[in-house]
């Protein structure tokens, strides 16, 4: 027995392995794209190899896998910004990649070399442009402190290394 699905696919009931009472259903989806099927059928089996199918119903719906993937990624970015989570790490990476960060609270030595400061990462350009020097709670995703780590006096002509540590 074949049943058409909206004029494109076929559902076939067939006896499995020559056993009495064991039947299977298969769906030909060669002409369809990204469709899930739920096949509901009620079978009345007598004491013979004959089978009666009563009320074969086929439900199908198009699955938008792109929308599912977008929803998963959007949830990670919007709902999981706790420090140490994957979502928070992705937000920090996104802020760096999009160049939405600034250096503020800077201090310089007598030679004009940077000896301290902080980097604040934001989720968008508008928050960066609105941020103030030394500000807090202006939409930053993360804040990193910068300190010079010289082997000699801070008044040297060269800075040999900066240490950058997470503040928040």
DSSP conformation letters of 86-103: HHHHHHHHHHHHTT-EEE
- Are residues 74 and 101 both part of a single domain? yes
Among residues 37, 62, 87, the one where a domain terminates is 62
pLDDT in tens, 122-158: 988 999 999 999 999 898 988 999 988 765 665 567 7
What is the domain count for the chain?
A: 2
Can you give the pLDDT at residue 48?
47
Q: Which of 7-16, 31-40, 43-52, 87-96 has the lowest mean pLDDT?
A: 43-52
27: its two tokens? 């769906």
- Are residues 29 and 82 both part of a single domain? no
- Are residues 34 and 104 both part of a single domain? no
- Are residues 75 and 50 both part of a single domain? no
- Are residues 95 and 160 both part of a single domain? yes
Distance between first and last Cα of the chain:
66
Can you give the pLDDT at residue 20?
56
Query: Are 61 and 36 within 8 A, CB to CB?
Result: yes
pLDDT in tens, 74-116: 766 665 666 777 778 888 888 888 889 999 999 988 888 888 9
Q: What is the mean pLDDT of the chain?
A: 71
> Whole-angstrom Cα distance, residue 102 to residue 90?
18
- Examine the pLDDT at 4 and tell me if it is beyond 70: no
Q: What range defines the domain where residue 108 resides?
A: 66-166
More confident residue, 166 or 7: 166
What average pLDDT does this structure show over 40-68?
56
More confident residue, 20 or 107: 107
**pTM for the whole structure:** 0.52
- Are residues 58 and 71 both part of a single domain? no
Percentage of the chain exceeding pLDDT 90? 17
> CA 127 from chain center: how many Å?
23
10: its two tokens? 């076929």
Query: Are 38 and 63 within 8 A, CB to CB?
Result: no
> Whole-angstrom Cα distance, residue 121 to residue 98?
10
């Amino acid at each position: 027995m074949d049943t058409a699905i909206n004029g494109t696919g076929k559902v076939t009931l067939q006896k499995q392995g020559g056993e009495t009472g064991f039947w299977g259903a298969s769906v030909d989806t060669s002409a369809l794209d990204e469709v899930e099927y739920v096949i509901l059928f009620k079978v009345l089996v007598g004491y013979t190899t004959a089978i009666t199918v009563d009320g074969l119903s086929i439900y199908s719906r198009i699955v938008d896998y792109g929308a599912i993937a977008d929803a998963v990624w959007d949830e990670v970015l919007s709902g999981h910004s706790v420090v140490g989570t994957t979502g928070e790490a992705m937000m920090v990476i996104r802020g760096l990649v999009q160049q939405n960060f600034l250096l503020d609270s800077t201090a310089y030595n007598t030679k004009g070399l940077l000896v301290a400061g902080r980097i604040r990462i934001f989720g968008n350009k508008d928050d960066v442009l609105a941020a103030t020097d030394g500000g807090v709670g202006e939409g930053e995703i993360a804040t990193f402190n910068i300190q010079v780590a010289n082997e000699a006096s801070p008044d040297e002509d060269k800075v040999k290394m900066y240490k950058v540590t997470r503040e928040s």
